[in-house]
Structure 1
Amino acid sequence: MRFDATAGAALAAPIIIAALILHYTKINGSRLVKTLVIAGSIWLIGTTMSDTIYSLDANKHVTFELFTSKGLELELIRTAFSLHWHLILVGIILMLLTSIAIWKSNLVRCIQTRSTKLNFSLSIIVWLLFTVTAIRGGWMDHPQSPMSAYNIGDNDRAFIAWSAPYSVTYHLAKGAKKSASNVTQPASSELHQELAQTTTSPAILDNLKDANIVFVLLESWVSIDMKSYGSDIDSSPFFDALREKSLTSHAMYADGYRTVQGMFASMCSFPNPNGGIVASTQLQNNQYYCLPHMLKDRGWDTRFIQGSGKGLVGAFAKTLGFTESYGKMDYDFDDETNEWGYMDGGIYRYSLDRLDEMQAENPDKPFFMMINTGTTHSVYLPESFGYPFGDDNMSQIRASVQNHADIALHEFLAQLEGRFDKPTLVVLMSDHTAKVSEPDLAKNSIPFLIYATDGSIPSKQLDTAVSQRDIGVTILDWMGGYAPWFTGQSLLQEQEFYRSSFSDGSLFYWVDNRHAVTINSPDGQLKQCFTIEDNTISLTKTDCNAEWVQPLYQQGRDFNNLTQQLLFDGKTLDYRNLASIFPQSSTELEDDSQLVSD
């Protein structure tokens, strides 16, 4: 209700100001006031409708996306109309009915009566106090923001309490350059002291393994439709079979809900801003040294390919160190498309063309290619394929589309076999999930695997939960390198502890295998404690007085505070794994780095 009052007060302000100006004139301002009220009503309905559609697809509300969708407007509109036309129809009908009712109503009008100066002044003061109080969110704490909804302490209730009109208005008023903000507490002086005193081996970035890397960023793939992750649905038999012959883990949790978040976490091995992104915000201008940067500087050909418009993702790829970035307008052939652009068959075809081109130009030059797929960005499938898991609900459609993508992936990887003389590392990882209404961690649990054509990657499933942040570290480790500012852990080295993390609004999740705690980022307080079932998604609340909770909570709180502060201060290269967060001594860290260089 507080957010609704805020939105109402903000929208009422220009209407009341106009009415006050007209109050002492002879002009009948009823039509102007009605027009303003209609505009406000359309804004309330329109923003609520848009946010509802977005949340159904992405499982999160609209915030910074207002500034990060440039170039994708048509795709977003097409997706909305193809998936949620009934909601759009309801919204339009409500707008029309509301507009007609307001215009014909006698309740909305300018009354040409004059009040005394005292009454007029008192009315102005009362109105100003109410408006400022409503917009600020009261006077008992700091000024509110849309993320204040998470003060409820329950993520599901906060999701429901969210006010779309308030959030959209807030972020539009705040501006694009401030669309990312640090909501965490500053890191403690003890943490800074430990960071200053922590010594690790210097970066090892030269004399890297002369090898290729193909990284397939599986757009919106979900583990809940995959048999190898404990699902009853068998949407991806090829991936599941390949997983048995690759390096993988019991679970992986996405560090966000956007492609650019998955890219940043995996390539830079650093957490995204809580509830936000780096791309297209003030954070994009900070200094990073990510895996593509390292390889490009040492002679690798680095390229990023997607099947939709280049837009935000394509531009961000270059920020991360990819020399070339391709989108659908670069394709020189026709193939199956959805509303976003080329589907996976066409994307893989274009990728193979570029790979052949690179090999023809300079066969001795190693490459790093990241491919962002596109079939699972939509719900469209060709009539010739149909919907093998049904199309009665979103879960069936989602599984059917992922099945189509799995078949295309099989065909692509088959064509990669024996194509290159150099050893080639293949990484398959979902960037994030989408179209997920299932509860708990379903919207964060994603598939991944790694294998190498020279057999240098073990076929092993780590019985733990890992992070997207671990992927860049693992790739660099396989190549014989080491970057002390990476926050992840190599999956090729025996680790005493693995940690996965992600944020949902202002709630920060810190995961240790089958244990998880949630932390309220603004005040660093422990919120809830869970055990995670073997299906990687189901949560069971547990007693926060359990022996394992406090150490895990303190590590998660300190990690979140430290990494967020370094991120917003533009000092991500200063990060080092601390013994208080990752229970390994500095000596052990140095030993691990020595193993990498051997």
Structure 2
Amino acid sequence: MSNYINNVKLFFKRFFLVVLLYQICRLLFYFFNQSAFDTITIKTFLGGLHFDLSAIAYINILFAVLHLIPGNFKNKQRYQKTLKITFFTINLVFILTNFVDFEYFKFTGRRSTYGMITASGMENEIGGLILSFLQEFWFLPIIGIILAIVFWKMIPNLKPTHDSTASNLNIVKQTALFILLTGLVFLMGRGGFQKKPIRIVDAVNYGSISQSSLVLNTPFCILKTIGKKEALENPNFFSTEELNTIFNPVIATNPNKPQTNQNVVVIILESFGRENIQRGQTPFLDSLITKSLFFENGFANGKLSIDAVPSTLSSIPSLMNNSLITSSYSINKLYGLPKILKDNGYYTAFFHGAFNGSQNFDQYCKVAGFDAYFGKNEYEGPESFDGKWGVFDEDFFQFYCQKMNSFKEPFFTSIFTISSHNPYTIPEKYKGKFPKGTTKIHESIAYSDYALKQFFESAKKQDWYKNTVFVLTADHTSSEPTEQKFNTNVGKFRVPILFFNPGDENFGGISYRNTQQIDIMPSIVELLNIKTKMISFGKPYKSEKDFAVNYLDNIYHYIEGDYYMAFDGKNAIALYNFKKDELLKNNILKLESELAQKMERFIKAYVQSFNDRIINNKLTLQ
């Protein structure tokens, strides 16, 4: 019996050694991302321990069985050696997934999930990107190796005694302990006795919303999403009739003027978050803003590049843990800008200078109804491969301009830039030409701004230029903003949105209404005087409505007027006046109960409408 007790002690010593290593990883995560978090409390770390125990228990449930199952065979040297090596290897792999988020969190604003770790849609780029990440963040592998050595050295070994008795009474006691202790490990895995096992969203119970990623750990998020397709639930807050009185995504346009037949060019700029504008890195875009209709309060509807395309071109926000493009709903029927404009006489094409298949944009283009897709494979021009992603922005912009010369008017095209993406490579001939700024991305932002300028210089010379509406936005914000206000759940979605109409000198100004990527589609339709009926989760730019919605860390972030609400899918959990309280310090949910009820009613209707139409493939009108 004493040998069995030694095995029990051995397992829990090893188990709590892993717990200790998870705490070290949390401290490292905080160290590398401390600018993203304001006040940290002991509750945050106690909550983190809760999620750590859950992840570690799930990962080690098999090892609990192998350590605790009755029988003297466990004392054999070969068995113990194999057990130690496999325990070390499996736990180390999961521990090291935390290292991904030490830097990747700066870009995504959330812990990585299984889908993000496996990099769906980036198979061509992943080899080069991993190499560049290892070169840039060389210190992470070193820390990982040190941690692995310490882990191996600290794993205790079994010290068997000469007690080899195996009486029936001992077997009964061992079996009872086995059932009790493996049950305890399973209980830790599910997070306690509550009705449902703890979920990623439960992290909000341990501090402010912005602390959720610090409470969580990456292995937990991977385990909760591995092998799962996006499965939305319809909350059914309201009847269909009541729902449509609160929020109805059906927009019918019936203009009293003829269709303008202007060309449309939508430019999505990689990582050109609002924090990068008008600070010296983007002189051309800054000048273009003064000649455009600029939306001061512009917001992205997601935090990843793959979220921006369906938001901008199909008016579908990213309100799921996976992007629509990679989710189980990726082949849902769409009636977005490509099909709307095609039905009204337009030729449509999408351009992306990265490897064909990158981000699954080519697949989206087929579903969305574009006539053509132009990627790295279709590029024609001087040798311009950046070694990682694809064609440098300057050369691909020129290729883009030349291709539009061959399109029959009216045409609708969209281009997604790539050079201001990590590892922020710019052509050798421009090294030292642009301001370095304060973070690594700033030089590549300045280069992409220069490439944008060169594109407009070429476009001005084309016959179609004066008959074209240009729409510019960013896919998402960039990492490591220099101002704390861009680290909040409002600031981390702020992007430039502007409409430039060179054929109309009177078109322009500044709008202070809350405008988002999903507003671009209905705004273009309205601007072109197109008669149609469509599903849009946004609103036209002339609308009196003043909302924006996005989703991060399993929380819906809803802006209305001067107020921001956090909604967990069932209830409002925070309310702030983000205009007066930029850093979101003062939760006024209880003080503004009437406003909170009104806003909560809207976001419930919005989420119900979105989920119902995604689940039931109702993004088009029959």
The TM-score, its normalising length taken from structure 2, stands at 0.80
CA offset at residue 41 of structure 1? Answer: 2.8
Q: Is the 8 A contact 2:392 2:426 kept in 1?
A: no
Pick the aligned partner of 1:212 from 263, 268, 287: 263
Query: Does the alignment pair 1:543 with 2:593?
Result: no
In structure 2, relative to structure 1, the CA distance for the partners of 1:385 and 1:288 (3 Å cut) is same
Q: CA deviation at 1:284?
A: 0.8
Aligned: 1:466 with 2:510? no
Q: 2:565 maps to what in 1?
A: 517
1:38: which partner in 2?
88
Moved more, 382-391 or 551-560: 382-391
**Contact 1:336 / 1:346 at 8 angstroms: preserved in 2?**
no
- Contact between 1:450 and 1:457, CA under 8 Å: does it hold in 2? no
Indicate the percent of aligned positions where both proteins have the same amino acid. 19
Q: Which runs of 5+ in 2 are unaligned?
A: 1-48
1:150 paired to 2:204:
yes
Tell me how far 1:341 sits from its aligned partner.
Answer: 2.2
Change (3 A) 1:511 1:418: same
AA aligned opposite 2:65:
I
Answer yes or no: is 1:451 the counterpart of 2:497. Answer: no
Select 1:342's aligned residue among 375, 391, 406.
Answer: 391
Alpha-carbon shift at residue 388 of structure 1 (Å): 4.6
CA distance in structure 1 between the partners assigned to 2:249 and 2:313 by the alignment = 24
Q: Does 1:90 align with 2:90?
A: no
* 1:98-117 correspondence to structure 2 within 5 Å: 98-102=151-155, 105-107=156-158, 116-117=170-171
Query: Does the CA contact (< 8 Å) of 2:295 and 2:510 recur in 1?
Result: yes
Question: Is the alpha carbon distance of 1:447 and 1:532 closer, same or farther for their aligned partners in structure 2, counting shifts above 3 Å?
Answer: same
Rounded to whole Å, the distance in 2 between the matches of 1:372 and 1:59 is: 21
Provide the secondary structure at the position in 2 that maps to 1:127. helix
Alignment-mate amino acid for residue 301 of structure 1: Y
1:408 correspondence with 2:459:
no
Match of 2:308 in 1: 262
Give the letter for the 2:375 counterpart: G
SS of 2:302's equivalent in the other structure is coil
Selected match of 1:252 from 294, 298, 308: 298
Q: Is the 8 A contact 1:220 1:376 kept in 2?
A: yes
Kindly report the root-mean-square deviation, in angstroms, between the aligned alpha carbons of the 2 structures.
3.2
Displacement of 1:456 after TM fit? 7.9
Cα distance per residue 1:232-285 (max 9 Å; x no partner)? x22212111111111121211111111221111122212222443111211112
Distance 1:117 1:56 in 2: 53
Match of 2:362 in 1: 314
Q: Is the 8 A contact 1:62 1:167 kept in 2?
A: yes
Where in structure 2 are the equivalents of 1:131-150 lying within 5 Å?
131-150=185-204
**Contact 1:300 1:367 (8 Å CA) reproduced:** yes
Structure 1 CA distance for aligned equivalents of residues 363 and 162 of structure 2: 54
Task: Judge conservation of contact 2:293–2:507 (CA < 8 Å) in 1.
Answer: yes
Q: 1:113 to 1:136 in 2, by over 3 A?
A: farther
Per the TM alignment, residue 444 of structure 1 is displaced from its structure 2 partner at its CA by 0.9
Distance 1:555 1:280 in 2: 28
Matched, 1:499 2:552: no
- Cα distance in 1 for residues equivalent to 2:496 and 2:79: 60
Question: Take 1:512 and 1:389, find their aligned partners in 2: how far apart are those partners?
Answer: 37
What residue in structure 2 maps to residue 590 of structure 1?
Answer: none
Q: Distance in 1 between matches of 2:137 and 2:79?
A: 38
Alignment partner of 2:291: what SS?
Answer: coil
CA distance in structure 2 between the partners assigned to 1:70 and 1:528 by the alignment: 37
**8 Å CA contact 2:80, 2:158 repeated in 1:** no
Residues 540 and 459 of structure 1: CA distance in aligned 2, closer, same or farther (over 3 Å)? farther
Q: After the TM superposition, which of the residue ranges 314-323 and 254-263 deviates more from structure 2?
A: 314-323
Deviation sequence 1:471-506 (CA, Å, 0-9, x none): 001111122224342121111x3x323211111212
- 1:202 CA drift (Å): 5.0
Contact 1:29 1:110 in 2 (8 A): no
Contact 1:13–1:131 (CA under 8 A) maintained in structure 2: yes
How far apart in 2 are the matches of 1:192 and 1:222? 37
**How far, CA to CA, are the matches of 2:606 and 2:432 in structure 1?**
46
1:360-416 CA-to-partner distances (Å, cap 9, x unmatched) read xxx4x432211110111123344543275446xxx4323332122111111101211
Letter in 2 for 1:375: S
Equivalent residue, structure 2, for 1:276? 322
Partner of 1:81: 134
Q: 1:279 to 1:528 in 2, by over 3 A?
A: same
User: Structure 1, residues 327-348: CA drift from partner, whole Å, max 9, x if none?
Assistant: 2233344126253222211221
Residue 454 (structure 1) shift: 2.3
Number of equivalences: 551
Change (3 A) 1:558 1:571: same
Aligned-pair distance for 1:323?
A: 2.9
Q: Distance in 1 between matches of 2:159 and 2:154?
A: 10
The DSSP-based 3-state class of the residue aligned with 1:455 is: coil
Change over 3 Å in CA distance of 1:500–1:52 after alignment to 2: same
Could you list the per-position Cα deviations for residues 64-85 of structure 1 after superposition, in whole angstroms to 9, with x for gaps in the alignment? 3245344132244134224322
Q: Is the 8 A contact 1:212 1:423 kept in 2?
A: yes
Task: Provide the C-alpha distance between the structure 1 equivalents of 2:232 and 2:578, rounded to a whole number of angstroms.
Answer: 28
Structure 1 segments unaligned to the other structure (5+ residues): 228-232, 576-598
Cα displacement (A) at 1:540:
5.2
Evaluate the alpha carbon distance shift between residue 516 and residue 109 of structure 1 in structure 2; reply closer, same or farther with a 3 A threshold: farther
1:331 is the counterpart of 2:379: yes
The answer to whether the aligner puts 1:427 opposite 2:465 as a matched pair is no
Aligned match for 1:189, one of 207, 218, 239:
239
Task: Please give the secondary structure, in 2, of the residue aligned with 1:81.
Answer: helix
CA distance in 2, matches of 1:370, 1:505: 29
For 2:545 and 2:159, the matched residues in 1 are separated by 64
Q: Structure 1-normalised TM-score?
A: 0.83
Query: Which secondary structure does the structure 1 equivalent of 2:294 belong to?
Result: strand
Cα distance in 2 for partners of 1:497, 1:486 equals 13
Q: 1:150 to 1:386 in 2, by over 3 A?
A: farther
- Residue 65, structure 1, aligned to residue 111, structure 2: no
